[in-house]
Amino acid sequence: MCWRKNKEGCVLVSNKGNKPPIVILILIYAILLYASYNSLSVLALGLWGESVMGTVDSYDNRLDNTNAEVNRSRTVSKGYSFTVNGKEYRGYVIYQSDEAWPRLEEGETRSERIRYLAFLPYINKPAMLADFDEIGVRGLLYHIFLPVGCLLLFLLVSGKLKFNKKRKKAYKNPKNDNEDMSETLLQENTSENEPNLIGFSQRNNHEEILAAAQKNRKIGYRFIIILVLLPLLGFPLAGLLIEDFSFGESVVIGIGVALIFLIFNLISLQKYKKPTWEGKVVNKYSKERYEHRGNDDSNGRTYTEYTTLIMTDAGKKKTIVEKDSRRDMFDYLSVGDKVRFHPMFGTYEKYDKSKDSVIYCNVCPIRNPISNDRCKKCDNLLFK
């Protein structure tokens, strides 16, 4: 941060960057990676792990809190070894428990069952830490949700997932408040009451429009959370209630479906962060197409596909594809029209609206009379 004083003596702060130091980032990533690995290894060992009798050669426990919850009063550390196909493997774990075995003296050992992955025995744990019956439903849900939470935290810390915050207003000289207010009112009256129908609108930067975009993003993130939680809770619950559906399979399927939903929706949300682009409509055409419904050819239907081809100022081709009666942009745009694409809403704005009788809201998008200044449905400003 840079600190300096202005003429009035007010202290201003200038942030040059919001990213934490690289050392802190590495530490955060390492913690998230270890936490995810620990939970995923427990789930994998519980589902596909094989067991073998191992030897515990180091053991220690420390009393932390006599009033703690069940299996939370002590911190236990344990070192062990086991043999698979003639090769010895070692492991070490630290966990919370209520067990209070006596410490092992030098050279003393104790036998304990160990679970490991047959294709990778380096992934192993004492059987009691990877047994779903020992863990219980609460512990199992913890290990299911933890990797998802770590992934969201990773995306948040790395900047892939952002939550916009309201910016603080810059310092203003009180002497100029009346002048600034007059200029603001004049600009608003000019932009809202006397819109120019030729040229791209500046309302895409209006605070109301930016607030609407932020609201849409929040709704999108909430929708993702719901889509991820549904399979994570629904499939394990089905595994508990349906006899023919094993609980282990239900957990795996639930995690898989949740990850697919999460990745797909996060990728789809990235399109709203793309830059605005402008271009010109170069072609329009329609084509009859046929689609199957089910396995029976008699259930198919024929529909019309309407395509509007746009060449951007950067020389890239963009297409708008619509079906049947949903051909709004196909009818609204003509060959030769200049257009601007607003990725925060996924809508298009025409450059010359002077000859149009209708205008489409860039937030909804609903068709409105050109005389409207605000959308008749969402009441947001129309881009005029």
Decide if 70 is inside a domain: yes
Decide if 220 is inside a domain: no
| C-alpha distance across the termini of the chain, in Å | 40
Decide if 334 is inside a domain: yes
Paired tokens of 4: 């300096």
Q: Count the Cβ atoms, other than its own, within 10 Å of residue 121.
A: 20
Q: What is the DSSP string of 3-57?
A: EEE-TT--EEEE-S--PPPHHHHHHHHHHHHHHHHHHHHHHHHHHH-EEEEEEEE
Residues 16, 2 contacting (CB under 8 angstroms): yes
- CB-based contacts of 29, cutoff 8 Å, min separation 6: 154, 157
Three-state secondary-structure class, residue 78: strand
Torsion of CA 315, 309, 332, 382, to 10 degrees: -40
Paired tokens of 343: 């990725």
The secondary structure of the chain in percent helix, strand, coil, rounded to multiples of 5, reads 40, 30, 30
Q: Once rounded to an integer, what is the mean pLDDT over residues 8-13?
A: 45
Residue among 134, 160, 143 at smallest CA distance from 232: 143
Mean pLDDT (the chain) is 82
Give dist(CA 384, CA 353) in Å, integer.
8
pLDDT per residue as tens digits for the range 54-66 = 999 999 999 988 8
Give dist(CA 216, CA 345) in Å, integer.
8
pTM of the predicted model, to two decimals?
A: 0.49
Paired tokens of 297: 């050819």
297 confidence band (pLDDT: 50, 70, 90) = low
Paired tokens of 30: 């390492």
Provide the b/e sequence for 172-193 (b: ≥16 CB within 10 Å).
Answer: eeeeeeeeeeeeeeeeeeebee
The angle that helices 247-269 and 22-48 make with each other, rounded to 10 degrees, is 150
Decide if 328 is inside a domain: yes
**Beta sheet of 277-291, edge-to-edge order:** 317-323, 301-312, 277-291, 338-342, 347-350
| Torsion angles phi and psi, residue 206, rounded to 5 | -70, 145
| Partners of 53 in beta bridges | 113
The angle that helices 132-158 and 247-269 make with each other, rounded to 10 degrees, is 10
Paired tokens of 189: 């009256």
Decide if 210 is inside a domain: no
Min mean pLDDT across 34-43, 167-176, 228-237 is at 167-176
pLDDT for 146: 87
Task: Give the whole-number percent of the chain exceeding pLDDT 70.
Answer: 83
Q: Once rounded to an integer, what is the mean pLDDT over residues 279-286?
A: 95
pLDDT per residue as tens digits for the range 114-144 = 999 999 999 999 999 998 888 887 788 888 8
Mode of pairing for the β-strands spanning 277-291 and 338-342: antiparallel
pLDDT per residue as tens digits for the range 341-361 = 999 898 999 999 999 999 999
pLDDT for 240: 75
Domain total of the chain: 2
Say how many CA atoms lie within 13 Å of 121 toward its Cβ: 16
Decide if 324 is inside a domain: yes
- Residue 10 scores a pLDDT above 50: no
Higher pLDDT, residue 249 or 134: 134
Residues 61, 77 contacting (CB under 8 angstroms): yes
250 confidence band (pLDDT: 50, 70, 90) = confident
162 confidence band (pLDDT: 50, 70, 90) = low
| Torsion angles phi and psi, residue 167, rounded to 5 | -80, 145
Residues 200, 215 contacting (CB under 8 angstroms): no
Domain boundary among 76, 111, 134: 134
Min mean pLDDT across 260-274, 320-334, 364-378 is at 260-274
How many residues are given for the chain? Answer: 384
For Cα atoms 140, 145, 73, give the angle at the middle one, nearest 5 degrees. 55
Question: What sections of 159-246 are H helices per DSSP?
Answer: 177-193, 207-241
Among 20-34, 61-75, 106-120, which range has the highest average pLDDT? 106-120
93 confidence band (pLDDT: 50, 70, 90) = very high
Bond before 231 cis per omega within 30 degrees: no
Q: Once rounded to an integer, what is the mean pLDDT over residues 197-212?
A: 90
Domain extent, residue 54, equals: 23-134
Task: Give the whole-number percent of the chain exceeding pLDDT 90.
Answer: 38
Domain boundary among 76, 99, 134: 134
CATH code of the domain containing 281: 2.40.50
Written as one letter, the residue type at 166 is K
Domain boundary among 134, 161, 190: 134
Please state, in angstroms and as integers, the Cα–Cα distance from residue 239 to each residue in 41, 124, 251, 382, following that order.
21, 25, 8, 51
Decide if 116 is inside a domain: yes
Paired tokens of 114: 């160990």
Decide if 322 is inside a domain: yes
